[in-house]
Structure 1
Amino acid sequence: MSDSPSQKGNHFKRGFIPAMALLFLLVAPLTGSAEIIYFDTDNCGLSSDYVKCSAIDNKGDKWVGTEVTGYGSLNHFGSDSLWFVFAPGVMPNNQITSMAFDTGGNLWIGTLTAGLYKYSSLSEWQSYAADSNISGVNISSLTVDKNNQIWIGTLGSGLLRFDGDSAWAKFTMADSLNDNRILAIFADKANRIWVGTYSGIDLLDSGWHYYDSLNSLLPGNAVRAFAEDRSGNIWIGTNAGAARVDQSGNWTVFDSLNSGLASNQISAITVDSSGNIWFGHRATSAQEIMVSEWRGGTSWQVINLDHVPLSLYVDITCAVTDHSGNIWFGTNGEGVAVIKVEPMAVSARNDPRPNRFYLGANYPNPFNPATSFEFSLPARSEVDITIFDILGRKVRTLLHDSRPAGSYIMRWEGRNDDGTPAPTGFYFYRLKTEREATTRKMLLLK
C-alpha cells in the first residue's frame, strides 16, 4: 500500500493568508529576536490539539502524532511550510503514542492498542498489528539504536526489541526489568538503552543496571524523559525534578528549590543547538503550560506557553529540536508551540543567496553584558561558532550544527559554557565550517 503527501490526505497551507493566519507571539523574556509560533486546529489544519509525540526526519521535516477523540492521526510539516494530515484509513483508528526514525529514513509508529506500524522512506505502509509479539500490547514509547534495532516500551507488557524484519526479543520483570510499566526509552550515543518506568530506571549497558530514588540520586521514580547533551551527559526527567548523569557516573539533581526549574513535574527534555537544555512540564494548575530552559550555571528562564483560555490542565507531552535549532513542544490541548531561538535568519526569504563566507563585527563593542554579530554562509555548512579568551581557551560554544545558506545574527550574553558571567577582557569569536574559518576580536568591559 502506498501513500505520500502528494497523493492522499488533506493539505493545509501555513498561515500567511488571513484564513489560515498563524498566531505569532513575541515573548519578552526570550533573548534576542526569539518568538513563539503556535500551530493548532484553528490556524493551520492540525488534526487535533492533543499532541502525543513528535519526530524530525533527516530532511528536517516535522512529524506529529495526535489523538482525535480517542483516535489517532499522523501530521507532517514539510519544507514547503504545509501541514499534511494523513487521510482516515491510512493510519489505524488509534492514539499514536510514540514515533522514531531509523537510519534508513523509515518512520516507526507506536499506537496505544493497535500495535506497531512502519511508514517507509518509499511512502509505503506496513502493519505489525497482527504479529503475536506485539498484538494486544499498549505501546508507550519507541527508540531506534545505533544498530537500527527498534526498542518498544509498553504499559504493562515490558520491553520489546525488533530488528525490523522478523527477530523479536522480550524483556520483563521475570528476567530483566524492575517494572513492566514503561514511560520512556532512550538510546544514547554509546548505544546504551535507558528505560524509564514508574519505579525508576533500567539501564542496559553490558548487562542490566537499576536506579531508583533509594540506590541513587534519582529525584523521583516516575521517569518520563531522557536526552543527551553534546558532552555526553544524560538528562533525566522525573516526577520530582531532573537529574544529570555524566560520563563518569556522577549525578547532579535539579529541582524547583535548588535551581530555576519551573516545576518538578518533567514530561519532556530536548537540547538545542547551543547546548541549552529545555524541559517541558506537566501542568500543576489550570492555564499553566510551562517550559524551563537551562543555559548552564545559575542561568535559567521560564516560559509560559498558554495562548488560549482553558479550563483544563494542559501538559507538555513531547519536545524535539529541529535542524534550525527551534524547539517544538507538543501539548495535550493547545497543539504545537514552536520556540524560535537564535541564530535567526535576517535576510528576507526571497533575497539573493549570500555569495560569500562572512563574519561581521560585533555590536555594541565594547559591550556589557551582551553583544551580537552577523555571519553569512554561501552554502549549507556544518557550523561552529566559538568564543575564546585572550589566552586561546574556549569560553563558550554558541553554535555547533548544520545551517543552510543565508545570513544570520548570533548573540552572546557574556557567559561561559557553565553559565557563569565572563570577566572583563578581550575575547575572540570564531566562525568555522568544513571549508573555511575566520576570527574577530571584541571587548567585554564591565
Structure 2
Amino acid sequence: MFAFAADAWHNYSVPFPIRDAVPADEDGVWLATEGGVRYRDSVNDYVFTPANGLEASNFYGIANTPIGVYAVSEYGLIARMNDDFASWKVLNRSFAAGNVRVVPGMVEYADGVLVIAFENKVAFIDLESGRSIISVDHIGDVVLSVYGPEKIEIRGDSLYVSTLVGTLARRMDWKHLADDVRLVDPETWKRVKNVCLHCRDSLKVVVDGVTLKDPLLYSDGKSSVLWQFKEGDKTYLVGREFVATYSKKKQKLTDLTDYIPFKLNGAYVVQAIPEGGVIAASVDGYMSVYTGKFWYDPVMVYLGYPAGAETYNYRLKNLSILPRGFVVAHIWGTGLHLYWSLGQQPFFDALPGVGNCLSEYDENFSVVVGTTVAPDGSGFLAATSAPDRYGIDFLSPDANLSCASEVGSHSIAGPMAARLDSATQDWIVYVSYRTEGDFSAFSSGGLDIVRFPSPSKNGGRLLNPELKTLEGLEGNTLIDMAVDEENEVLWFVTATGIGYVEFDRDTIRKPLSINGMLGAEYTSIDVDPHGNIWVGTAMQGIYRLERRNGSFDTLSATHFTMVDGLLNNMVLDLSIDKKNGAIWAAHENGVTSYHRNDLRRAKTFMTDSADAEIKVYPIPFNPHLQRFLTIDHISEDARVDIYNRGGSLIRSFAGDEVAGGRLEWDGKGKNDRYVTPGVYFYVVRTSSKVKRGKFIIKR
C-alpha cells in the first residue's frame, strides 16, 4: 500500500550549559546539556535532541558504558543510544512523572547498574531491563528528602554519597543488587571522613605537568574546568560553557566550544520567509536566517537595549518579512530597523528622538511590541506605544515613514495583524491594546480595529483612520493574531484563551468546544493554508486545531510535544512556512521545524498563475536507495495515476495522498511489493487539466 512520508522533525538547539561529561570510547567526549546530548571530538560535532527520539532536550547526566551510551534528563527520563549512532530509545519514563530533578552530573555506572542521584533520593536502575531496582530515600541516619545527595561516586566496589551533613559509603554487590534486601538498612551505610568526591583543582588547570593559562579556562581567576579527560596525546577540558582540547605534543589549546550549525542564543520569535525558510531572533538582540540548507551566522539588530527575559513576559512579536528579502525588526527602546538581504544588510533605522514621527513612550525611547506586513505587501506596519494613545506607523522598503499618531484607544499597543478589505481596498489593521502602564501579556485589554484608506491613494501616508474598540476575550489582552483570508476570520490567543473575529461582524467570540485540548497558557498562533489553527503554549507544546464541519465553534485538537519531536514544550512563538510546508517554533534553547505536506500553500498549482510546473524527482528512481519518488506542484484536487509501459494501472492517488500538492510514492504496487525496473508513466487529472509525463525506475 502507499507509504506516506514520515512527518519530519528537526531541532536546532543551543547545547549549553553543559551539565555532565564523559569520555567517548576512542576519541571525543559525550556531553549532557540543556540543549540535548552532544558528541564532540576534534572533527565531528553532533547534537541529539527529541527529533532523534530522546523525548527531552534538557539533560543532566551521561554515562558511556560497555553496553552503550545512556543519557538522563533533568527529571530522570533514561534513554540509550541505538546502534545506528543516529537515534535513541527511551528505556524508562517512570522517574519523570515524579517531577524531581536529577543532581547535575551525578550519574554513575557499575556492572549493568545505573545509579542516579535525585534531589531527594538515590535510584538504582537495571540497564538490561530498563527497570528501576530500588530508590533509597535514607542512607544511614540521613533522610535524603531533608538533606539531599550533593555528589555520588563509585570507587571500586563501594558507592559514596555526599550530603550537607556528611559523606556515607556502602559496599555493593552490583551483579546481585536486586537481591540485596539490606540496601535500605541504615546500618549497612558507614560514615566516612576526609573523602572528596569528584574533586578538582579549583585554582589552576594542570595538564601533563603544565599549568595552562588560557583565559578560556578561567573565570574570576579560578579554574572553570569541571571535567578533564586524557585521550592519547590530547586532553579534553570541559566547563559549563566551553569544550577544548590540549595537545601535549603541539603544546596548543584548541577551542571546540562553538556549535557551528546553530549559533543563535535561543529564540523568542520566529517568522517564516515568503520564499521559504525562517528568521529567528534571540533576546540578546541577534537574528539568524535559515533558507533550507544551513543557519547563517547571527547578526546584531542594533546596538540598543534588548528587552532580555522581558521579551517572554511581553510576548514580543516584532519581526516581519516582506518578499524580496526586506526585514523589519525592533529592539526595545530604539525604534524600527529596516534590513534587506534577509536581515543580513542594514538599510535604514527609524530611531526615536531624531526628528521623525515615531511615538515615544518615554523621551527618546520607543516601544514596539508588534509589527506586521502591510495588507498589500507595500511595506511594514508597527504600533508604537505612547503616554496617552499609541500610534500606528507605516515604513516602506525605500525607507519612507508615515505615522498615524495617537490613533489607538489606549497607551500600550501589543501585537498586530492586517488585511485588505476586498470591497474597498482599505487597510484593516488589528492592534491589541493593554491596560495603562502594563506591558505584561497577562494584563487586561482588548482589540482595536483601525481602518485606513490605502496609503497608495494618499501619497504613501496613513490618513483618516476610523477606530473600533472591542473588549478582550474575558477582558484579557490579545498576545498574538493570525488572519485567515480564505475563511474571512481573525484568530487570536490571550494568555488563557483562544478566540476569533469574523471579518463582517467585529465581535470577539470564543469556540464553544475544543475536543482533545486542556487548558493551557498560550503564547502564539498561526493558521495554515487549510484553515487549521496552530497554537503554541508555555508548557504543553503545540496544538493543531481542526474545524469540524467548517465551524469556528467546534474544533478538534491534535497535540505535539517533545515525545513527538518538539525541542521543548515551552513554545515562545510559531510561524508557518507555507512555501516549503513547515511550522517553526521558537524556544529558549533553540528552534524546531516540523515538516508536513499539508502545510504548503498549493492553491495556485496547475493554474495559469502557477509559478512552477509539475516536477518529478529523483530520476531515475531507485526505491532501494531513495525513500520516495516525488511528483510535486500538482493540484490538491487532482487524481494521479501511474502506469507501466504496457499501459496497466499500477497505483492511483487522491485526497490526503496529494495534500500540499506533493505526492510521495515508495515504488510499491497494489500488492505492497516493489514494481519491476523500467519506464513508467504518470497522468495528473483535475476537472479542467490533464498533465502527463514519464520516469524510470531502476535497481
The alignment's TM-score, normalised by the length of structure 2, stands at 0.42
Task: Give the superposition deviation at 1:436.
Answer: 4.1
Could you tell me which residue of structure 2 aligns to residue 106 of structure 1? 326
Query: Aligned pair in 2 of structure 1 residues 202, 396: CA closer, same or farther (>3 Å)?
Result: farther
Rounded to whole Å, the distance in 1 between the matches of 2:689 and 2:417 is 34
Tell me the SS of whatever aligns to 2:487: coil
The residue type equivalent to 1:194 in the other structure is Y
Query: Aligned pair in 2 of structure 1 residues 308, 385: CA closer, same or farther (>3 Å)?
Result: closer
**1:182 pairs with 2:182:** no
Rounded to whole Å, the distance in 2 between the matches of 1:22 and 1:383 is 37
1:129 to 339, 345, 351: 351
Task: Give the superposition deviation at 1:142.
Answer: 0.7
Rounded to whole Å, the distance in 2 between the matches of 1:264 and 1:375 is 41
The CA RMSD measured in Å over matched residues stands at: 4.1
The residue type equivalent to 1:231 in the other structure is N
**1:95 pairs with 2:359:** no
2:556 to 286, 299, 303: 299
Is this contact kept in 1: 2:274–2:322, CA < 8 A?
no
How is 1:353-368 mapped onto 2 (pairs within 5 angstroms)? 353-354=617-618
Task: Give the superposition deviation at 1:330.
Answer: 1.0
Is this contact kept in 1: 2:417–2:431, CA < 8 A?
yes
Query: Aligned pair in 2 of structure 1 residues 185, 251: CA closer, same or farther (>3 Å)?
Result: closer
Could you tell me which residue of structure 1 aligns to residue 368 of structure 2? 139
Could you tell me which residue of structure 2 aligns to residue 240 of structure 1? 496
1:116 to 336, 348, 362: 336
1:334 to 576, 589, 599: 589
Is this contact kept in 1: 2:487–2:531, CA < 8 A?
no
Is this contact kept in 2: 1:225–1:266, CA < 8 A?
no
Rounded to whole Å, the distance in 2 between the matches of 1:290 and 1:196 is 24
Rounded to whole Å, the distance in 1 between the matches of 2:638 and 2:520 is 33
Task: Give the superposition deviation at 1:170.
Answer: 3.1
The residue type equivalent to 1:129 in the other structure is L
Task: Give the superposition deviation at 1:268.
Answer: 0.9
Task: Give the superposition deviation at 1:187.
Answer: 1.0
Task: Give the superposition deviation at 1:163.
Answer: 3.6
Structure 1: gaps spanning 5 or more residues: 1-14, 29-40, 346-351, 357-373, 388-394, 410-429, 439-446
Query: Aligned pair in 2 of structure 1 residues 399, 325: CA closer, same or farther (>3 Å)?
Result: farther
Is this contact kept in 1: 2:526–2:576, CA < 8 A?
yes
Worse-matched range after superposition: 139-148 or 242-251: 242-251
Is this contact kept in 1: 2:264–2:298, CA < 8 A?
no
The alignment's TM-score, normalised by the length of structure 1, stands at 0.63
Higher-helix-fraction structure: 2
Query: Aligned pair in 2 of structure 1 residues 258, 277: CA closer, same or farther (>3 Å)?
Result: closer
Query: Aligned pair in 2 of structure 1 residues 375, 227: CA closer, same or farther (>3 Å)?
Result: farther
Is this contact kept in 2: 1:270–1:277, CA < 8 A?
yes
Asked which structure has the greater CA Rg, the reply is 2
Rounded to whole Å, the distance in 1 between the matches of 2:657 and 2:529 is 8
Is this contact kept in 2: 1:238–1:264, CA < 8 A?
no
Task: Give the superposition deviation at 1:396.
Answer: 7.8
Query: Aligned pair in 2 of structure 1 residues 258, 353: CA closer, same or farther (>3 Å)?
Result: closer
Is this contact kept in 2: 1:66–1:95, CA < 8 A?
no
Rounded to whole Å, the distance in 2 between the matches of 1:200 and 1:128 is 28
Could you tell me which residue of structure 2 aligns to residue 205 of structure 1? 451
Task: Give the superposition deviation at 1:339.
Answer: 2.4
1:193 to 429, 438, 442: 429
Rounded to whole Å, the distance in 1 between the matches of 2:530 and 2:557 is 14
Query: Aligned pair in 2 of structure 1 residues 432, 252: CA closer, same or farther (>3 Å)?
Result: farther
Task: Give the superposition deviation at 1:251.
Answer: 5.2
Query: Aligned pair in 2 of structure 1 residues 276, 315: CA closer, same or farther (>3 Å)?
Result: same
Rounded to whole Å, the distance in 1 between the matches of 2:415 and 2:687 is 35
Rounded to whole Å, the distance in 2 between the matches of 1:375 and 1:433 is 25
The residue type equivalent to 2:291 in the other structure is G
Tell me the SS of whatever aligns to 2:431: strand
Rounded to whole Å, the distance in 1 between the matches of 2:416 and 2:567 is 33
Residues 255-293 of structure 1 show CA distances to partners (whole Å, capped at 9, x for unaligned) of: 8x7544443532211122443210112x3xxxx342211
Could you tell me which residue of structure 2 aligns to residue 427 of structure 1? none
Task: Give the superposition deviation at 1:227.
Answer: 0.9
Rounded to whole Å, the distance in 2 between the matches of 1:142 and 1:26 is 36
Query: Aligned pair in 2 of structure 1 residues 382, 55: CA closer, same or farther (>3 Å)?
Result: farther
The residue type equivalent to 2:543 in the other structure is S
Query: Aligned pair in 2 of structure 1 residues 385, 170: CA closer, same or farther (>3 Å)?
Result: same
Task: Give the superposition deviation at 1:21.
Answer: 3.6
**1:64 pairs with 2:280:** yes
Residues 212-258 of structure 1 show CA distances to partners (whole Å, capped at 9, x for unaligned) of: 14xxxx34421011112331221111133111223432654138x75
The residue type equivalent to 2:556 in the other structure is S
The residue type equivalent to 2:382 in the other structure is I
1:290 to 529, 541, 544: 541
Is this contact kept in 1: 2:414–2:479, CA < 8 A?
yes
How is 1:128-167 mapped onto 2 (pairs within 5 angstroms)? 128-129=350-351, 131-132=354-355, 133-134=357-358, 135-147=364-376, 148-156=378-386, 158-164=390-396, 165-167=399-401
Is this contact kept in 1: 2:499–2:508, CA < 8 A?
yes
Is this contact kept in 2: 1:343–1:408, CA < 8 A?
no
The residue type equivalent to 1:66 in the other structure is S
Task: Give the superposition deviation at 1:211.
Answer: 0.6
Query: Aligned pair in 2 of structure 1 residues 113, 268: CA closer, same or farther (>3 Å)?
Result: same
The residue type equivalent to 1:138 in the other structure is V
Residues 126-182 of structure 1 show CA distances to partners (whole Å, capped at 9, x for unaligned) of: 22236443452122111121342421123556233124333421333xxx3222212
Tell me the SS of whatever aligns to 2:268: strand
Structure 2: gaps spanning 5 or more residues: 1-37, 56-257, 308-315, 359-363, 422-426, 435-444, 453-465, 549-554, 601-615, 621-627, 640-653, 667-683, 693-699
Could you tell me which residue of structure 2 aligns to residue 359 of structure 1? none
Rounded to whole Å, the distance in 1 between the matches of 2:490 and 2:599 is 28
Could you tell me which residue of structure 2 aligns to residue 36 of structure 1? none
Is this contact kept in 1: 2:277–2:580, CA < 8 A?
no
Length, aligned pairs only: 336
Rounded to whole Å, the distance in 2 between the matches of 1:201 and 1:118 is 27
Task: Give the superposition deviation at 1:294.
Answer: 0.7
Query: Aligned pair in 2 of structure 1 residues 259, 94: CA closer, same or farther (>3 Å)?
Result: farther
Tell me the SS of whatever aligns to 2:366: coil
Rounded to whole Å, the distance in 1 between the matches of 2:520 and 2:567 is 24
Is this contact kept in 2: 1:327–1:338, CA < 8 A?
yes
Could you tell me which residue of structure 2 aligns to residue 19 of structure 1? 45
Rounded to whole Å, the distance in 1 between the matches of 2:635 and 2:545 is 22
Tell me the SS of whatever aligns to 1:20: strand
Is this contact kept in 2: 1:318–1:330, CA < 8 A?
yes
Could you tell me which residue of structure 1 aligns to residue 296 of structure 2? 84
